[in-house]
Amino acid sequence: MSANLSHPQDTLPSGRPRLPSWLRVNLPAGDTRQTTFNGTLDIVERGELHTVCEEARCPNIHDCWSRGTATFMVAGKECTRGCRFCSVKTVRAPEPLDAGEPERLADAVERMGLEYVVITVVNRDDLADGGAGHYKRCVDAVHRRLPDTGIELLCSDLDGNWQALEDLLANIPLSVFAHNVECVPRLDREVRDPRASFSQSLEMLRRARQLRPDVITKSSLMVGLGETNQEVIGALGRLREVGVELLTLGQYLSPGRPGTRFLPIARFVTPEQFSEWDTSARALGFRGVASGPLVRSSYRAGHLLQEARTGQRILPSFKQGPS
């Protein structure tokens, strides 16, 4: 159930793979959505904020921003990890933390009128607590300003600093705590920075669930990196074993040209296969699932949480890709 990249006609003259029809993104039409997109851009730029939408080159940026939603990235725009799927710049010593960032973030969320916000982070292995204290200050600032806004934190693994995790989660006003396993366990060394691993990410999610059973946990898996369909199901089972309730599954799209540090795309997974995984994930007990070619970890995050809370499916089965 995938398009394998084994023929010359599957690649462009540049050497990059030719995208199948279900991965071609249509820009949102209409003056209203364009105006909303421009407004989102203005708020982000005026607040001197970073978004994972831009830094990770998300294919859904026009769709989300034209709906007035964005996923903010805090603690800088440089990461101390060098994962081979990510376009965020890697440095050993990023810029110092910006003490004004939490309030600017809260101001942006307020100006956008968001009912639900996703805050993601860069890895900060240069800091004793992995950046946990700053992440918490950002969440707290949004909550103080907007106590009725739901907040999702997509956290790093804090380099396995479990005390930092405990301090982070103590009394933090979160709806969802997310941490991504990224790929199936066999591909850890090929895909992720050596300091990251599936087992460490699982332990992060298990401890978060134990520390804050009132907060829903979430994770995400990329496919198209060389995994088998059976390995995907195995990874989903392990996530359920540690209590993860929300899941996103999406196609890996290399952010760089062939020959760069980025991994090549091993296959294009069909919408039909994503639909099958959606059914399998729900059978395993996930309460909210977004599984589709263009799905990313923060895709329609508020809707996914609503699925978990109501028990009613809100997001479609993406047989034709997200819309």
Tell me if 138 sits within 8 A of 76, measured CB to CB. Answer: no
Supply the pLDDT for residue 152: 95
Q: What is the dihedral of CA 144, 147, 149, 155, to 10 degrees?
A: 50
- The letter for the amino acid at 167 is D
Q: Checking phi first, is residue 300 left (phi over 0); if not, alpha (psi -120 to 50) or beta?
A: left
Supply the pLDDT for residue 33: 47
Supply the pLDDT for residue 254: 84
For residues 153 and 162, give the distance between their C-alpha atoms in angstroms, rounded to a whole number.
17
For residues 144 and 112, give the distance between their C-alpha atoms in angstroms, rounded to a whole number.
16
Each residue's pLDDT tens digit, 64-85: 544 545 678 899 889 999 998 8
CATH assignment of 30-310, among 3.40.309.10, 3.30.499.10, 3.20.20.70, 3.40.50.620 = 3.20.20.70
Tell me if 249 sits within 8 A of 220, measured CB to CB. Answer: yes
**Sign of CA pseudo-dihedral 195, 191, 26, 15:** positive
Nearest to 304 by CA among 121, 156, 150, 157: 150
Each residue's pLDDT tens digit, 98-110: 999 999 999 988 9
Each residue's pLDDT tens digit, 172-191: 999 999 999 999 999 999 99
Question: Quick one: what percent of the chain has pLDDT higher than 70?
Answer: 77
Supply the pLDDT for residue 204: 98
For residues 199 and 205, give the distance between their C-alpha atoms in angstroms, rounded to a whole number.
10
What phi and psi values does residue 249 have, to the nearest 5 degrees?
A: -130, 130
Tokens of 116: 């639900």
Each residue's pLDDT tens digit, 110-155: 988 888 899 999 999 999 999 999 999 999 999 999 999 999 999 9
53 has pLDDT over 90: no
pTM confidence score: 0.85
